Each structure stands twice: as C-alpha cells, then as structure tokens.
Amino acid sequence: MISQVRGTLTHRGLDRVEVLTSAGVAYEIQIPLSVLEKLPRDNEQVALHTALVVREDAWMLFGFTAPSDRELFKLLMTASGVGPSLALSLLSSLSPHRLVTSIRGRDVATLQRVPRVGKKTAERLCIELGDKLKAWDGADAVAHDGAPGSADAVRALVSLGYGDAEAERAVRAVIEQAGSAGPAEVIKRALASLQGR
C-alpha cells in the first residue's frame, strides 16, 4: 500500500499530477479539483495522502491533501456502482462536508448535480452510505459545522448561479479570514471575491 507520496511537483494537469521522489521515482497521481487549487508551484515540494486502486489492467494512485478526504474516497467506492472515477468526480464537484451532509440528509437533488450521477445512483449512495457516514468527523466537516451561516451563504451563492464547489471555496476563504462575520457579511465578501473585486 502506498499511503503517501512526498517529492517535487514536476507536472500538473486538471485531473493529475506527477511527483518525483528523492529516490528518483516519479508517480502519476490522479487528483480531485479541490487538490489542484492547493498545489504549490511546479518544481516545489508537495506531499499527498494517497490511495492505491488495483485493477486488472492498471494500478492507479489517487492523491488528497487530507487523510480524511482519502478515507471518504475509499468509503465512496464501497457503494455499488461507484468506482474510482466517479468517487473522484464526487469529490471534485462537492466539498467533503457538502458531500457527506448531502448523503446523510438524502439530498438527491444536490448529488445529481455531479456529472454522471443520476437519480438512481444518488439514491443508492444515500441508502448504502447514509448510516456509514453518521459518525463521519472529517476535518472539513468539523470546520464547516462550526461556522454559523456558512450553509446559508453557500445556498445564496448557488442561487445566484455559482457552482456548488466554487461557492463553498469562496465561503470557506471568507470564514477563515473573517472568523465570526455574520451570514450577510460572508455572502457579501464571498460574492466580491467571486467577482474578482
């Protein structure tokens, strides 16, 4: 099992990176969009928590910035019909917190916004993983649960036409900077950030 890869970021794409270790071995690692945004510049050091998926025709590495995200990725693949590609798509489209709360709350509509997730797949995720995620305490979920009004702020931005993932990123950034700002202020600052002001 390869649980972590640390080395120099030598190449990046929208869905994968290449990391050269100090031993001279380069690993190609598939990543969700949330990881892409947090990567350092090329030729700088990076460390990713990884999950190795073995198939008959390939060995694939998937990388995450937090161990909790890696564990959520593995858990998603325990649902019938969910392979690594779809699990990665779920984590690219929704933050871990939003994904967990959507599955726990049987929010089929939110899950269906993810590419390749139809109604039946969304319902299956809720049925098969809802109970397993009741005790989920990933760092991302804890951070968001403790931020009053963050869910309302995300919903407000989504209603204005922004995607779930970009709305959550903007709200998260504001909360990290402003701390105890009220929902209206969070929405105002996040909107300004999304509009590039």
Q: What is the CATH number of the domain that holds 115?
A: 1.10.150.20
Model confidence at 140, in pLDDT bands (50, 70, 90)?
Answer: very low
Find the CATH number of the domain harbouring 36: 2.40.50.140
User: Per the domain annotation, does 139 fall within a domain?
Assistant: no
Q: Which amino acid is at 169?
A: R
User: Per the domain annotation, does 134 fall within a domain?
Assistant: no
Backbone region of residue 40 per phi and psi (left: phi > 0; alpha: psi in -120 to 50; beta: other values): beta
| Residue 60 buriedness (CB in 10 A; 0-12 / 13-18 / 19+) | middle
Based on the domain organization, do 184 and 161 belong to the same domain? Answer: yes
Give yes or no for residue 146 having a pLDDT over 80: no
User: Per the domain annotation, does 189 fall within a domain?
Assistant: yes
| Residue 29 buriedness (CB in 10 A; 0-12 / 13-18 / 19+) | buried
Residue 111's nearest CA partner among 94, 96, 95 is 94
**Nearest 5 degrees, angle CA 78-CA 82-CA 85?**
120
Find the CATH number of the domain harbouring 160: 1.10.8
| Phi, psi for residue 131 in degrees, rounded to 5 | -70, -35
Based on the domain organization, do 13 and 57 belong to the same domain? Answer: yes
| Phi, psi for residue 39 in degrees, rounded to 5 | -70, 150
Q: Which two tokens stand for residue 118?
A: 């139809």
Percent of the chain topping pLDDT 70: 88
User: Per the domain annotation, does 137 fall within a domain?
Assistant: no
Give yes or no for residue 143 having a pLDDT over 50: no
Q: Which two tokens stand for residue 100?
A: 């967990």
Based on the domain organization, do 18 and 57 belong to the same domain? Answer: yes
Based on the domain organization, do 153 and 115 belong to the same domain? Answer: no
Give the count of domains, the chain.
3
Based on the domain organization, do 100 and 59 belong to the same domain? Answer: no
Bridge partners for 54 per DSSP: 59
Residue 21 DSSP class:
-
Q: What is the mean pLDDT of the chain?
A: 85
Q: Report the pLDDT value the prediction gives residue 122, as an integer from 0 to 100.
A: 95
| Cβ neighbours of residue 99 closer than 8 Å, sequence gap 6 or more | 72, 90, 91
User: Per the domain annotation, does 141 fall within a domain?
Assistant: no
0.85 cut: is pTM over it?
Answer: no
Based on the domain organization, do 150 and 172 belong to the same domain? Answer: yes
Q: Report the pLDDT value the prediction gives residue 179, as an integer from 0 to 100.
A: 60
* Structural domain boundaries, residue 102: 67-129
User: Per the domain annotation, does 135 fall within a domain?
Assistant: no
Task: Give the residue from 27, 48, 64 where a domain finishes.
Answer: 64
Based on the domain organization, do 59 and 10 belong to the same domain? Answer: yes
Based on the domain organization, do 76 and 124 belong to the same domain? Answer: yes
User: Per the domain annotation, does 154 fall within a domain?
Assistant: yes
User: Per the domain annotation, does 84 fall within a domain?
Assistant: yes
Q: Where are the beta strands (DSSP E) in the chain?
A: 4-12, 16-20, 26-30, 45-54, 59-64
